[in-house]
Amino acid sequence: MISEKMKKLAENNSVIRAMFEEGQQMAREFGAENVYDFSLGNPSVPAPAAVNRAICDILAEEDPLSVHGYMSNVGYEDVRAAVAENLNRRFGTDFSSGNIIMTVGAAGGLNVILKTLLNPGDEVLTFAPYFTEYGNYVMNYDGNLVVVSPDTQTFQPNLKEFAEKITPVTKAVIINNPNNPTGVVYSHETCMELARILREKQREYGTSIYLISDEPYRELAYDGVEVPFLTKYYANTIVGYSWSKSLSLPGERIGYLVIPNECDDYELIYAAAGIATRVSGFVNAPSLLQKAVARCLDEQTDVAAYNRNRETLYNGLKECGFECIKPQGAFYLFVKAPVPDEKEFVQRAKKYHILLVPGSSFACPGYVRIAYCVSHDTIVRSLPHFRALAAEYGLNP
Ligand code: PLP
């Protein structure tokens, strides 16, 4: 028999699988081009050509024993140095290779840092709506995820409730900026206030509270909006980054953690996180991909393509009468369902071959997530169907 923990996950997984299979079934029945599948956050823009070129060049130029070999659990020294230098250039920081750990995507990085920090019963705070997997990652290490309820006016973090929910056993806070599922970017003011509250609570309880900033969407920001770099706001910040979205490499599993010298117990944390990488069974981030991303640190995905999707979808949905905040980053739109039970709305959308994710999957019922990382053509062709769906609820102006 499987473990109690995994029993719960397996039950939940069958719901996700059912959704995926329903999409596949619809595509078979009506033709893939007639199904508007907005359920997955899989990039629709291919990786820049420079990534493939870098991989080919590495294979041609470098010693295969080094390219495919084991290295230090924290990653190649020269790759970590290149990542640190790139961050310093962009954000005016002062990192070295000793502040960087190469990880198996953002998910690998989050698991490594949570394994490093948590004792059973420790609390980890996060803000709804949040990426569902945070609950599972925290549970992996017997921590408790404590959720701050959403501010549905702005979808900026609800800082009043945040301050009230910090306790002596709060070990970490996870934030995600730009945000999945809302597309909101936490502002400079929000980050200042968040940092102030954390410093105050650390003083009050005599504890260290680590702010884990999950940033796979950092480069997906529109209209010149600035995404605050949090190590400058709060000393106990640990950044988790991934190239899954920024270079469209989600299957390759490559990212990094930044653990600044200023963090309380920096040396212990850095050493333990290297061990956590090993004993979690990752051992190290994929070697070829480490070397490839190090050659592509200044490459960018086609942000303009996502921006075009964002504009078309946002304007189209507003014209249909739907209510939503214009996203400033990532590739998601969080739309208010026209009825309180958003699952009913998700069901009804299927009649128009539109696949959406209910907000309750992100601890925010009453809303649905639309992942607009699809072709622009799919968005254009979906709009008449959204209009017909809106008409069912009497939304059309
Ligand atoms: N964090 C957030 C907010 C995400 O949306 C995702 C993936 O969608 C991840 C982490 C995991 O990213 P990765 O594929 O790099 O593990």
Closest atom of ligand 1 to CA, residue 243: 15
| Residue range 4-47+301-392, CATH number | 3.90.1150.10
Decide: 217 and 178 in contact? Cβ < 8 Å. Answer: yes
Distance CA 305, CA 323 (A): 23
Residue 157 Cβ contacting ligand 1 at under 6 Å: no
Ligand 1 touching residue 242 (CB < 6 A)? yes
Residue-wise pLDDT tens digits, 339-374? 999 999 999 999 999 999 999 999 999 999 999 999
Arch. (CATH architecture) of 49-294:
3-Layer(aba) Sandwich (3.40)
Probe target for ligand 1 pocket from 133, 249, 257, with the most ligand atoms within 8 Å of CB: 133
At residue 125, what are phi and psi to the nearest 5 degrees?
-95, 145
pLDDT band of 397, cuts 50, 70, 90: low
pTM score of the predicted model: 0.97
Q: Whose CA is nearest to atom 2 of ligand 1?
A: 131
Ligand 1 binding pocket includes 214 (Cβ within 6 Å): yes
Instruction: Give the number of the atom of ligand 1 that is nearest the alpha carbon of residue 214.
Output: 1
Token pair for 260: 């600044």
The CA distances from residue 344 to 277, 278, 335, 348, in Å, are: 42, 44, 14, 6
Does ligand 1 have an atom closer than 6 angstroms to the CB of 106? yes
- Tokens representing residue 62 in the block: 């470098």
Ligand 1 neighbourhood includes 41 CB (under 6 angstroms): yes
> pLDDT tens digits for 173-224?
999 999 999 999 999 999 999 999 999 999 999 999 999 999 999 999 999 9
Distance in Å, CA 214 to ligand 1 centroid: 8
Residue ranges of domains in the chain: 4-47+301-392, 49-294
Distance, CA 215 to ligand 1 centroid (Å)? 8
**Relative to the CA of 244, which ligand 1 atom is closest?**
15
Residue 17 pLDDT grade (very low, low, confident, very high; cuts 50, 70, 90) = confident
Which atom of ligand 1 is least distant from the CA of 130? 3
Distances (CA, A) of 350 to 162, 192, 356, 358, 390: 36, 42, 8, 12, 13
Q: Specify the pLDDT at position 23.
A: 85
Please classify residue 152 by burial: count the beta carbons closer than 10 Å to its beta carbon, then call 0-12 exposed, 13-18 middle and 19+ buried: middle
Ligand 1: does its nearest atom lie under 6 Å from the Cβ of 244? Answer: yes
